[in-house]
Structure 1
Amino acid sequence: MEYLHQREQLDPGGLNDWDIMKKSPEAKNIAVRRLSNAVSGKNVTIALHAARAAVSIGLLMPGHSRWRGAGSLFLGGTTCLLQARHRYGTDGSDQVATLVQGATGLARLSRSPQTQDALLWYVAMQANLSYAASGWVKLMGERWRDASALPGVMRTRTYGSEGVYRLTRRYPQTSKYVQHGVLAMECLFPLVYVAGGRLTRPFLAAAGSFHVANGFIMGLGRFMTAFPSLHPMVAYTTAPATHPAVAGRDDRAVRAAAVLLAAGVAAAAAVAVQRRGVVLEGWPASRKVVTRHGNELMYETGGREESDAPVLVFCAGLTSTSEHFSWITERFAHDSEHAVVSYARAGYAGSVRRSTAPYGLEESVDDLEDLVRAVVPRHRKVVLVGHSLGGELIRRAAARLGDRVAGLVYLDPAHPAELQRSQRQDAGAKDLRETIAHASLYLRLGTGILMSRPDWLDKLPKAYRDKVFAQYTDARLWTAGKREWEAVEREFRAFEGDIDPIAAPGLIIAAQQTVDQDPEQLLLYNELSRAHRNHGERGGIKVVEGSDHDSLLTDAMHAHKAAELMARFLGTALTEAEGTAAERAEDRAEEKKAQREGAGQ
């Protein structure tokens, strides 16, 4: 009825304009796109919704006809059919409704009591999973634990209620009890199966009240009808087997689910072990170096080893891999006089952190310095290249390496004052901390098998994709990232003063979306640029149009543009810097000669 009332949204420019919707993730599958194309016309879509409304009214009528099963399947099927057609407005309530309609529809059409019981058990187990997973995920969030979640939601325009928000502020202790009560109900929902069914009514009453409150306060009306449709199956399956209403109930679905769960856990463990092996193995040409902290760093080299051109040393960002630089490293390794070195920080890929001391960013700076001194021949200078957090690490390392550094290239780098001065960075810091912590925890529990393959990964060169995916589904990367981010927050929030002057020339390559969405970030980049000796000459700040923080490396077009800017920098600023240094050396020689002659006279 909503869609029929808002049918103008099907017109060009509307929220459900098919010319826009067909670009959604659901419509990428060719089969889904063809089915959706068949119903994308406005008249066909309206006719389907009218038929859905008529069938829904029929299901509200009394009766036990098998046609009710067909009607439920029709509603579930057309919901799936129209999913891509209506990208906006589909959410958890639609998914639950489809699940219940599909399972109960099949149960009504089946003549086998065993099949019917299996389907009802399926819905009941989904209900338990829905509540328990939601509760435990909430419990991981700091806002639910400290009882700030409810006031926060009530303040929003989309789901908020000014009156309820004021009540949460007036009665904070009651608000805390309500939130922790919701957490307890969801986390402990599977307890409905203990005590011979005596807990069923209290739990279902609490869950039903929760959905009714959401419906009236947050405007989630369809949640108020969708989720309680799970409850009859919970009641049916929690009743003692001796109860007359469930006499003869077939409970083998529980044992089958337990066997499938055990098989899934075993498969997840096997996949995790296999991926861990891929991660630790590295590449055929990978080597290791041990740093002063005892950490083992895995690195790879390429390019012209016999050349005297500076060696490019790449330092990756937070929860990132050295393979993120692959478009750029391959460009310089194959089409320039430069050699390249890329490595994984301690804890990433095949690198191992042996240090037992509390972690600080200076440890990673020490490791980078030790790597350069051990791997790069003494007669060759280095150009340090860092992305994101890697940019801050190379800045600090440059001061340690002194005249061995020919230049620095920052790729959308971090700035030590960004958490203090950028509202966008500060607001995102807490969410990033929780995301990394959750990923580290869940992957340690073996859930890597459930992790979907991100779109950006398939934009990397093909030879690197599987290795990067293995790293991203391995807990080691996220555990190392968690350790690093804690240090970043601690040190960046304590940063005072200005960035120390840097003798080597520097180039900052910024992503357009970074500077467009956060003007303060551009000011920070200007400060970083002015700290370099060549500020205002050939280095400075360059912006890659259309790129964002990640696609600057992962998208071939943006990465090649960045490589081109780097090549210009290497060919001009560094040459000029060497020339200037030579001129200064000649001037000093002339000055000393004049002094000697004056002394002789």
Structure 2
Amino acid sequence: MNPGGLNDWEIMKRTPEAKNVALRKVADRVSGKKTTLALHGARAAVSVGMLLPGNSRWRGVGSLFLSGTSCLLQARHRYGTDGSDQVANLVQSVTGIARLAKNPQTQDALLWYIGVQASMSYGVSGWVKLVGDKWRDGTALPGVMRTRTYGSEPIYCLTQRHPKASRAVQHATLAMECLFPLVYVAGGRLTRPFLAAAGGFHVANAFVMGLGRFMTAFPAMHPMVAYTTAPKAHPAVTGRDDRAARAAALLLAVGVAASVAVAAQRRAVVLEGWPTSRKLVTRHGNELMYETGGPDSDAPVLVFCAGLASTSEHFAWITERFAHGSEHAVVSYARAGYAGSRRNTKAVYELAESVDDLEDLVRAVVPENRKVVLVGHSLGGELIRRLAQRIPGRLAGLVYLDPSHPAELQRSDRQRAGAKDLRVTLTHVARYTRLGTGVLMSRPGWVDRLPAAYREKVFAQYTDARLWTAGKREWLAVEKEFTEFTGAVEPLTTPALIIAAQQTVDQDPEQLLLYNELARAHRSHGGRAAVEVIEGADHDSMLTEARYAHEAAQLMAEFLAAAERRSEEADTVAAHEGGAER
């Protein structure tokens, strides 16, 4: 607790737990060294008292004191706190109130609350583990045993000598956790087996993984499970009030129904698009939803291609700037599977499919007499690069916004390390949102940094399974194709502007080398290309935060103006040469 120490309050007060001003003021008053030590001393004394025999109402006061001081000290001593502390606080708080309550029905409702929480803590933990490949294939336990924090070399060696037994232990643990809620069926006959299995699980974790506090915290909920699962005919629970269980079941049913209704409403918002949305059927039979806007002039049309698991509305700050403050019309669209666009083809997805769709969109929407500027963010940058190789004569330029590079998984350690995590994340989120859990997703801060008119629709897409399913499909193709990429990026004569986010290149210097290589590919046959860096921006905020997006738009405007001047000069030179020949 000394200045500069791990629990120096001047440092700890900046942690998330201390953000609330009122709570921070309270914590300030109790965070002096002497006061903190006095609180810990009082907690130790009360804890000893709680271990003495007796059943007085003072035990309720003691429980509330322990839970209250735990909360009070949370901001002060946050390191080392985990699930066991949360469970301990839950049990101390609820049993403390139950001991002080005079109404038996209130006491029963509180005991039911802990019993249901215990059932959920095991059941949810099991189903989350079941989603992970490592728990299903039996490699999770050896993996944990190899770690420094929770590992045990002797147990790890046992898992290697007896792999079948290791898998059996893991699958048995999964079965116990996933099926724990069944403790409330069969009239209490499953209570002892489940509680014995759960208790043994915690004892084993205490000795093998060092989770000693789990061994006392979680079994503290077991008496409430035993009380609430016992048949009402049992003399120990005579007169037990079970209305809390029925109320919980009713609330669960209402919650499920509400989540289904919210998910359906959001899906409708996602599929509806905007009042100005139109649709195009591509050569693959996919339906693309797109929007156009801006003046009807001879200036090049800007066509925007979004990144992986992203929305076309991410470009809102930039598209609004060009559509309402320039001579350039804009076209933004959702790739097949995103927003209101539908993927109807049954073929295995490859990136070429999205390039084909984008080409069909450009040819159908942009008049033949107007040039096109392709703008791509992240994966969208790679897609527009591939399209540029097909239609160079129609292009006035390419704008890459922190683009993907086909060699990044081979040359960037950071990208390679994050690839597997991204695949797992997309798989899990796609699976969970298909089950209707999008209603539980919190609203990301970047959503509220977009223009106000776009926020609700973007959030609806973010919580909808279609976005994550499409993102997973695309990422699997990206991993395969980028891993197999050999050689160099093919040269392009089209002028290009590469805009990088500072945090991207700072965190991964290899990324800047890849951007420069992309620029050289545009210069190799007499083309022009520049690399610009937006200071302070990261991969997403360069689009979602107004100041960065406006800076990107300004760089794009300067690039387009320079390209137009060069085009006019070339036309003038050509006219003079034609006159001289005549």
- TM-score for both structures, normalised by structure 2: 0.93
| Partner deviation per Cα, 1:442-497 (whole Å, 9 max, x = no partner) | 22222122111112222222222222111111111112112212222222222222
**1:262 Cα deviation from its structure 2 partner:** 0.6
Listed as ranges, the matches of 1:195-344 within 5 Å are: 195-303=186-294, 305-344=295-334
SS of residue paired to 1:558: helix
| Partner deviation per Cα, 1:493-512 (whole Å, 9 max, x = no partner) | 22222221122122222222
Identify the residue that residue 567 of structure 2 maps to in structure 1: 578
Q: Is the 8 A contact 2:523 2:529 kept in 1?
A: no
Q: Which runs of 5+ in 1 are unaligned?
A: 1-7
Structure-2 separation of matches of 1:176 and 1:547: 46
Q: Which moved more, 1:335-344 or 1:103-112?
A: 335-344
**1:576 Cα deviation from its structure 2 partner:** 6.0
Q: Which runs of 5+ in 2 are unaligned?
A: none
**Which of 544, 549, 563 is 1:554 aligned to?**
544
| Partner deviation per Cα, 1:28-60 (whole Å, 9 max, x = no partner) | 444444444444444443333333222222212
Structure-1 separation of matches of 2:551 and 2:196: 60
SS of residue paired to 1:216: helix
Structure-2 separation of matches of 1:242 and 1:344: 61
**1:93 Cα deviation from its structure 2 partner:** 1.2
**Which of 129, 152, 158 is 2:149 aligned to?**
158
Structure-2 separation of matches of 1:469 and 1:219: 41
SS of residue paired to 1:176: helix
Q: Is the 8 A contact 1:215 1:224 kept in 2?
A: yes
Structure-2 separation of matches of 1:85 and 1:463: 41
Structure-2 separation of matches of 1:339 and 1:326: 14
Structure-1 separation of matches of 2:331 and 2:178: 48
Matched, 1:454 2:412: no
Matched, 1:423 2:433: no
Tell me: CA distance 1:34–1:325, structure 2 relative to 1, closer, same or farther (3 Å).
farther
Tell me: CA distance 1:402–1:239, structure 2 relative to 1, closer, same or farther (3 Å).
same
Identify the residue that residue 394 of structure 1 maps to in structure 2: 384
Q: Is the 8 A contact 2:60 2:99 kept in 1?
A: yes
Identify the residue that residue 173 of structure 1 maps to in structure 2: 164
**1:392 Cα deviation from its structure 2 partner:** 1.0
Structure-2 separation of matches of 1:200 and 1:588: 94
Tell me: CA distance 1:182–1:583, structure 2 relative to 1, closer, same or farther (3 Å).
farther
| Partner deviation per Cα, 1:143-191 (whole Å, 9 max, x = no partner) | 1112222222223333223333333333322222222221111111122
Listed as ranges, the matches of 1:475-554 within 5 Å are: 475-533=465-523, 539-554=529-544
SS of residue paired to 1:350: coil
**1:26 Cα deviation from its structure 2 partner:** 3.7
The percentage of aligned residue pairs carrying the same residue is 74
Tell me: CA distance 1:42–1:552, structure 2 relative to 1, closer, same or farther (3 Å).
farther
Q: Is the 8 A contact 1:506 1:534 kept in 2?
A: no
Matched, 1:182 2:173: yes
Q: Is the 8 A contact 1:298 1:350 kept in 2?
A: yes
Identify the residue that residue 4 of structure 2 maps to in structure 1: 13
**Aligned residue type for 1:368:** L
Q: Is the 8 A contact 2:492 2:525 kept in 1?
A: no
Instruction: Kindly report the root-mean-square deviation, in angstroms, between the aligned alpha carbons of the 2 structures.
Output: 2.5
**1:590 Cα deviation from its structure 2 partner:** 8.9
Q: Which moved more, 1:188-197 or 1:36-45?
A: 36-45
Tell me: CA distance 1:250–1:376, structure 2 relative to 1, closer, same or farther (3 Å).
same
Report how many aligned residue pairs link the two structures. Answer: 582
Matched, 1:141 2:132: yes
SS of residue paired to 1:248: coil
Tell me: CA distance 1:37–1:551, structure 2 relative to 1, closer, same or farther (3 Å).
farther
**1:328 Cα deviation from its structure 2 partner:** 1.9
Q: Is the 8 A contact 1:505 1:534 kept in 2?
A: no
Structure-1 separation of matches of 2:507 and 2:167: 36
- TM-score for both structures, normalised by structure 1: 0.90
**Aligned residue type for 1:49:** H
Structure-2 separation of matches of 1:154 and 1:576: 65
